[in-house]
Amino acid sequence: MGEDTRIRDSVEDTHVRDRLALIRTVLANERTFLSFLRTSLALSATGFTAVHFIPSRAATWTGAILLALGVLCLAYGSMRFRMARNAIGREEHPDAGYRP
């Protein structure tokens, strides 16, 4: 009877660990998306400031490029977040873009 209890406790512990690992993975994905969002906002705000408050042609072009980079950063971050969220839901390992 003691052996059965240990096996059942081991299985329950495994389920709890798996559930907690899934929660950590989901939260890490959300933190990564928020980092992309923060970077996008910073790029866009800097670009907006350069375009509207610095009266020079170079600042206007720099600001426009920064605004475009901000939009691209947000689009990439959103796409990556959705791909990772879908892969987590299917219990697959999303490609993080790292190659050995």
Domains of the chain, residue spans: 2-89
Give mean pLDDT, residues 64-89: 95
DSSP state of 56: S
pLDDT at 100 over 50: no
| pTM of the complete model | 0.77
Give mean pLDDT, residues 71-78: 97
Give which of 84, 86, 85 is closest to 96, Cα–Cα.
Answer: 84
pLDDT class for 93, splitting at 50, 70, 90? low
Rounded Cα distance, 90 and 79, in Å: 17
pLDDT at 36 over 90: yes
